[in-house]
Amino acid sequence: MSALIEIILPVFLVMGFGFAAVKRGLFSLDGVDALMRFSQGFAIPLLLFRAISTLDLGRGYDAGLMLSYYSGSLAGFLFGMLGARFLFGRAWDVAVAVGFSALFANSVLLGLPISELAFGADALAPNYAIISVHAAFCYFLGISTMELVRGSGGGARAAALAVLKAMFRNTLMLAILLGFAVNLSGLTLPGAVADAFDLVVRAALPTALFALGGILTRYRPEGDMRLVLWVCALSLLLHPLIVLGVGTRLAALPAEMLKPAVLTAAMAPGFNAYIFANIYGVGKRIAATSVLVGTALSVFSIWFWLWVLG
């Protein structure tokens, strides 16, 4: 019960404030969109830049950490796609969109604040290491698979070029790359600039969580609920279970790496699931409902995984 009160509830209460404010007409959807643009376009990129630029790369990056987390991601994608195809009889392109929904965990908006409350701000190096390659891995896998199942011209090579172009238009990825550049060069920001950045960084997660709650008012629990629950089971249970198993048995990760990796894997599908489905025009309702239902169910699944992790 203490984990629910001290770690989970603060995050979901901020989201609940955003949801209630929009639902009651106290805050407009246009205002929520502006908040999300600020958080995702400015505040969170600065958060990631500051974190990566000061990250101890030798301590944060570990082959076993990446193997553990991304083997779980890959399994979620494959089970999601093959389950949608052979258990639920969906077309291959819809199945890929379903697999992407099970693949892309909400590692930033939910994963960072919950991990910080659970383990402390000084224990987030594994989170930032996972996040630094998260979008690139997920989009490359999703786009490449979609292009192949649709038989698009150029195949995997065209998909790879499309991913590279998308990455260099993504402010989060640009912030991460700039963070690596500063880190590896040994440069340090002037004190006043660093302090200004940190002022914005402190607003990143609260505004993003409030905006996320407001945006959820746009969605309704509709679509194929059996398939949505399949996605949620893969995201909230299978992914963290594989991370725990691989991290414990194969990678022998220390607790300070294993716990944040498992907890990040246990996050609900992120909004990128809907963005991906929208790009290809398939599975949009399933993706949106998976985000909504998964976020609601994650209140209980995060509690469960915190109990498992001790």
Between 159 and 11, where is the model more confident? 11
The pLDDT value given to residue 163: 63
The pLDDT value given to residue 244: 97
Residue 156 has pLDDT above 80, yes or no: no
CB 18 within 8 A of CB 213: yes
Helix residue ranges, H only, 120-254: 125-150, 155-167, 171-185, 191-215, 225-233, 239-245
The pLDDT value given to residue 191: 86
| Angle, helix 284-309 to helix 272-280, in steps of 10 degrees | 160
Helix residue ranges, H only, 54-91: 57-60, 63-82
For the ranges 16-25, 47-56, 78-87, 165-174, the one whose mean pLDDT is highest: 78-87
pLDDT band at 80 (very low <50, low <70, confident <90, very high): very high
The pLDDT value given to residue 27: 93
Residue 54 has pLDDT above 60, yes or no: yes
Q: Is 101 helix (H, G, I), strand (E, B) or coil?
A: helix
CB 84 within 8 A of CB 99: yes
pLDDT in tens, 96-116: 999 999 999 999 888 999 999
Token pair recorded at residue 32: 């929520």
Say how far apart CA 127 and CA 50 lie, in whole Å. 14
In terms of residue numbers, what domain contains 255? 2-309
pLDDT band at 87 (very low <50, low <70, confident <90, very high): very high
Percentage with pLDDT > 90 across the chain: 42
Summarize the confidence of residues 63-72 as an average pLDDT: 96
The pLDDT value given to residue 259: 95
The pLDDT value given to residue 98: 96
Mean pLDDT over the full length of the chain: 87
Lowest mean pLDDT among 70-79, 133-142, 194-203, 223-232: 133-142
| Count of structural domains within the chain | 1
Summarize the confidence of residues 107-135 as an average pLDDT: 89
The pLDDT value given to residue 2: 63
The pLDDT value given to residue 153: 54
Q: Which residues lie closer than 8 Å to 119 by C-beta, 6 or more apart?
A: 256, 259, 260
Summarize the confidence of residues 90-95 as an average pLDDT: 94
Angle at 298 between CA 304 and CA 35, to 5 degrees: 140
Angle at 264 between CA 260 and CA 266, to 5 degrees: 120
Token pair 């150029």 is found at: 154
Between 140 and 220, where is the model more confident? 140
Four-CA torsion 121, 127, 128, 131, nearest 10 degrees: -140
Between 177 and 84, where is the model more confident? 84
Q: What's the whole-model pTM score?
A: 0.82
The pLDDT value given to residue 167: 62
Instruction: Count Cβ atoms within 10 A of the Cβ of residue 202 and give its class: 0-12 exposed, 13-18 middle, 19 or more buried.
Output: exposed
pLDDT in tens, 180-201: 899 889 888 888 988 999 999 9
pLDDT in tens, 257-268: 999 999 999 999
Amino acid at residue number 18? G
pLDDT band at 159 (very low <50, low <70, confident <90, very high): low
H/E stretch holding 62 reads none
Compute the Cα dihedral for 139, 142, 148, 151 and give only its sign: negative
58: domain CATH number?
Answer: 1.20.1530.20
Task: Select from 206, 258, 295, 306 the least CA-distant residue to 3.
Answer: 306
pLDDT band at 236 (very low <50, low <70, confident <90, very high): very high
